[in-house]
Structure 1
Amino acid sequence: MDDEPIGTLNVIPFVDIMLVLLTIVLMTASFIAAGRIPIALPQTAHAETNKQKDKTIELTVGGAIYLDGEQVTKDSLAEKAIDLPPETSFLIRADREIRFQQFIDVTDVLKQLKFTRVAVQTQNAAK
């Protein structure tokens, strides 16, 4: 048997692994720094942009409901929203002191009309 200690260590596999890890880190770091993967979108000569503005629903402490600044009732909100396309997005701005039931009533109307793009506006707490 050969009981001599190993005099050399083969570091080539270790260097290979470290280079692969360095490549992975550098590739993901560029995506993280940019925040998104850069792509070039295709272009057309006659592009129609169907940009639709959010519909805003505001709920006040007194129980009033406003659709784009116009005061409505829960029933008239349903009547006005039924004519809108289903991909319409809604932004709900509710006072923090309103009854929770008022918020649920409005979201229930939107759910019954099959609207899925609904957001609730909030404000960052002061630090």
Structure 2
Amino acid sequence: MERELNEINVIPLVDVMLVLLVIVLTTATFITTGQIPVDLAKAKESGATKEAPLVITLTAEGEIFLNDQAMARPDLILALQSHAKDSLILVRADRVIILERFVEVVDEVKGLGFDQISLEVVRL
């Protein structure tokens, strides 16, 4: 007389869990914080502001964006001239860009009379 085995076969459960893990890891890589890929520098958190800032993005490829709109440097200057001088300017610069490019853009913005210029970074 043979005895029935009363055990749970865990191999199908492990297979299903591995498939779910692959799906979660794959979809997690597509979640981004912004539309323009920029590898930001890291720093500790400072105070927050209430009004929406003007965001200037400098990419590693040399592109310049103002509020997610691509433009050349002369067009950036023209676009910024139409904004109030007390507006907050937030600069998102890829961490691998040449420092000289970043400084040139910040100097041009300061030359237009904007005093509130911040650099966006990733918190440590």
Aligned to 2:88: 89
Rounded to whole Å, the distance in 1 between the matches of 2:72 and 2:107 is 14
Q: Tell me the amino acid that sits aligned with residue 75 of structure 2.
A: S
* Larger Rg computed on CA atoms: 1
Structure 2 unaligned regions, length at least 5 = 1-49
Gaps of 5+ in 1: 1-50
- 1:42-100 CA-to-partner distances (Å, cap 9, x unmatched) read xxxxxxxxx74201011101110000000011111100001111111111111100011
Count of aligned pairs: 75
1:104 aligns to 2:103 (yes or no): yes
TM-score, L = length of structure 2: 0.57
| TM-score normalised by structure 1 residue count | 0.56
Structure with more contact order per residue of length (Cα contacts < 8 Å, sep ≥ 6): 2
Q: Could you tell me the percent identity over the aligned residues?
A: 27
Quickly say closer, same or farther: Cα 1:122–1:112, change in 2 above 3 A.
Answer: same
> Which consecutive aligned stretches of 4+ in structure 1 deviate over 4 angstroms post-superposition?
none
Q: Which amino acid aligns with 2:108?
A: V
Q: Distance in 2 between matches of 1:73 and 1:104?
A: 16
Q: CA RMSD in A?
A: 1.2
